């Protein structure tokens, strides 16, 4: 989405010794706007991912000016390698209603500053309507978040010695933003090799292989000093096409998982 911004200036012309002021429209500029849903890492650590739109922002470690809807100004910096804006703790403090999953509109102003607008849900639902909507639209995303939660806390189940990566600011490698997208889990193995874990969410093996190898290439160049990078694709069903694709890539493997659903008594949950 783009907004039009009219850049105007005033001139004075002498007519019969009277000065007349004119407002002249110089040109119309396009202001790109992007919608982004907040992740746990962003809300917890006070940052905003710009994965996929990195080219609109200043270079690594460079200063950036942020505004909010109230006109408050925040001066911070881009991260040194990841596609994210760091140092937004004050913005989150001024927007205490911001929660995981909320939408943020990111608008690029003509002067290269950025406006962050929190978009909270304003429609009123009855309890029954809300439960129906949640069951219809949010079961799959919530299951993905639960799976990520489990994997983050149980990386040893995937591979012995595997640990979550933390950058120089101690921010964890879950939903790690890059110039080309967001990595589900960025890890380090027992040999200090970077390992990218991607949870296959959609059908289509070609997209999954392309995505993880693209992330591996980015990590190799930007974090691993061109050393080896490995990839693990986590899936819940057999996909022969995916297996064929991964079989010719020595540094990509597939891990399978199964979820068991069990009904229990209320007392067992307490």
pLDDT of 68-111, one tens digit each?
A: 999 999 999 999 888 899 999 999 999 999 988 889 999 999 88
pTM given for the model: 0.68
* Residues 11-68: tens digit of each pLDDT: 343 434 333 333 333 334 567 899 988 888 899 899 999 988 888 999 999 999 999 9
**Alpha carbon distance 175, 185 (integer Å):** 6
Q: b/e for 50-65, b at 16 or more Cβ within 10 A?
A: bbeebeebeeeeeebe
Residue 2 has pLDDT above 60, yes or no: no
Domains and CATH numbers, the chain: 2-119 (2.40.330.10), 127-256 (3.40.1350.10)
Average pLDDT over residues 156-160: 90
Q: Which range has the worst mean pLDDT, 7-16, 68-77, 128-137, 178-187?
A: 7-16
């Amino acid at each position: 989405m783009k907004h039009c911004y009219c850049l105007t200036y005033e001139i004075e012309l002498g007519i019969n010794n009277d000065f007349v002021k004119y407002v002249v429209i110089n040109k119309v500029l396009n202001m790109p706007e992007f919608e982004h849903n907040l992740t746990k890492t962003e809300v917890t650590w006070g940052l905003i991912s710009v994965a996929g739109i990195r080219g609109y922002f200043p270079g690594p470690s460079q200063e950036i000016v942020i505004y909010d809807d109230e006109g408050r100004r925040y001066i911070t910096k881009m991260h040194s390698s990841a596609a994210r804006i760091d140092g937004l703790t004050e913005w989150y403090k001024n927007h205490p209603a911001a929660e995981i999953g909320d939408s943020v509109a990111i608008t690029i102003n003509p002067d290269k500053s950025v406006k962050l607008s929190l978009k909270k849900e304003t429609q009123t639902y009855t309890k029954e309507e809300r439960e129906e909507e949640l069951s219809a639209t949010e079961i799959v995303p919530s299951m993905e978040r639960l799976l990520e939660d489990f994997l983050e806390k149980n990386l040893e189940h995937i591979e012995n010695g595997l640990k979550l990566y933390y950058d120089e600011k101690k921010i964890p490698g879950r939903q790690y933003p890059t110039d080309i997208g967001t990595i589900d889990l960025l890890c380090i193995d027992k040999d200090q090799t970077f390992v990218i874990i991607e949870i296959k969410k959609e059908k289509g093996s070609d997209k999954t292989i392309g995505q993880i190898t693209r992330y591996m290439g980015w990590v190799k160049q930007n974090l691993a000093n061109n050393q080896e990078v490995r990839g693990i694709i986590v899936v819940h069903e057999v996909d022969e096409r995916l297996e064929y694709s991964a079989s010719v890539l020595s540094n990509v493997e597939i891990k399978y998982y199964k979820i068991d659903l069990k009904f229990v008594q209320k007392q067992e949950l307490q």
